[in-house]
Amino acid sequence: MSKLDMYFVQLDLYLEMIEILILLYFLIGFSASVIGAMAGLGGGVIIKPVLDFFGHYDLSTIGVLSAATVLTMSTVSLLQVKSMHGKLDKSHSLLIAIGSILGGFFGKGIYNYSLTLGSTTITGVIQSSLLALILVLIFLYMKYKKYMTAYTVENKSLILTVGVILGMLSAFLGIGGGPLNVAVLYFLFSMNAKNAVINSTFIIFFSQLSALILIACTTGFAIYDLSMLGYMMFGGVLGGLVGSKLIQKINNDRIEFIFNVTILLIILVNVFNVVNMLS
């Protein structure tokens, strides 16, 4: 085989690899967005550990890819609210969203500071471990919430404070806050599954929009490898459309089942990521 033939063979292999990567990242964005739109998870809590698992990008780039994909999904989903047979509680959810934006600045600051103290591996281990712990607590709450008291909180200062805490945790973990939002909406406002999904998506929209604006105003996007961003965002658009259509056809019990199963799978992925990072 001549050198020219070898060159074309290598080129074909490279193009095939690129096509596989494009399909992979599209499917990650699409599947995470379908589940996120159906269960109020947003998708970031799925995208972050999955991209950690593949290890193609650093933590900061994963945060940008996740935020942009989730923003497209939440935008599409919110445009479908009227047909989703749920109620958007703007008064409470907007306060939580404002708190999440404020908390997001603190969370991002803590994240950036953690990177200066040690390697990205240490930060990744902390993120995955903390996320797994929080998801275990959320899973246990969702499983046994029927035995617990749910509230209807009206105190605006308390709601805003809750939003700040949610935003801080979500920004540090890079997840968009979906499962945290849903659990809080159940617990503090006695929402059913569909209402929690819609209001969680509303909160996620503002938190991810503010996260991207913060990046644009500080580091900018040029320093990140965003070659797969367009494919993931396209997956986010289609996933948001499909998820919004599916939620119209399922009841609250089915939504909770999807939520719980997804949480369990994400816990397993995070535990695997921690073990892999430490090995």
Q: What domain range includes position 229?
A: 3-278
- pTM beyond 0.85, yes or no: yes
pLDDT of residue 114: 84
pLDDT of residue 14: 65
Instruction: Specify the number of domains making up the chain.
Output: 1
How many CB atoms neighbour CB 181 within 10 A? Answer: 30
| Tokens standing for residue 270 | 């995070």
pLDDT of residue 95: 93
pLDDT of residue 105: 87
pLDDT of residue 135: 92
pLDDT of residue 262: 92
Per-residue tens of pLDDT for the chain, all 279 residues: 566 566 555 656 666 788 889 999 999 999 999 998 888 887 888 999 999 888 889 988 999 999 999 999 999 988 887 666 668 888 889 999 999 999 988 888 888 888 887 778 888 888 889 999 999 999 999 989 988 888 899 999 999 999 999 989 888 888 877 888 999 999 999 998 888 989 998 998 988 888 898 889 888 999 999 999 999 999 999 999 999 888 888 888 999 999 999 999 999 999 999 998 887
pLDDT of residue 23: 92
